[in-house]
Structure 1
Amino acid sequence: MSTEKKNQAKADRIKGKVKETVGRTLGNERLEAEGRAEQSRGDARQAAEKAKDAFRH
């Protein structure tokens, strides 16, 4: 997994977690849902990079 893409995936997951937590705290369901979606994108990006790495080795 390239370092840049790995960091980008981790950043998506962290931003998503923050949005989800803030949304839950404020009672903002839309912000909470956006946070969960962002976390999912980060997870998917990380899984894709791991799959690419598996085929390279």
Structure 2
Amino acid sequence: MISMFLLFAAFILYSINRLTNSLCIQKEIPEDRQPKVFRFINISITILLLSSYVEILYA
């Protein structure tokens, strides 16, 4: 179960990072702010994935 969830989480993080890159390009976010945007989004998605794993684990 955990290996399947890890594969799913990796796919989600990869997809979200691609979408974030597209957002940065489309909105012309300066290069110096892009790492902050990526860090915020990655931390938020990781928290959501961890909470969903805990919910699945204890449901």
For the aligned pair, the TM-score class normalised by the smaller chain equals 0.5 to 0.7
Q: Which amino acid aligns with 1:35?
A: F
1:47 has 2:44 as partner: no
Length-normalised TM-score, structure 2 = 0.51
CA pair 17-37 structure 1, distance change in 2 beyond 3 A: same
**Equivalent of residue 36 in structure 1, options 29, 34, 39:** 39
- What's the RMSD between the two structures over aligned residues? 3.2
**Percent of residue pairs identical:** 5
Q: Greater helix share, 1 or 2? A: 1
Aligned length: 43
Q: Which runs of 4+ in 1 moved over 4 A?
A: none
TM normalised by structure 1 equals 0.52
Structure 1: state its 5+ residue gaps. Answer: 1-5
Structure 2 gaps of 5+ residues are 1-7
Cα shift at 1:32: 1.3
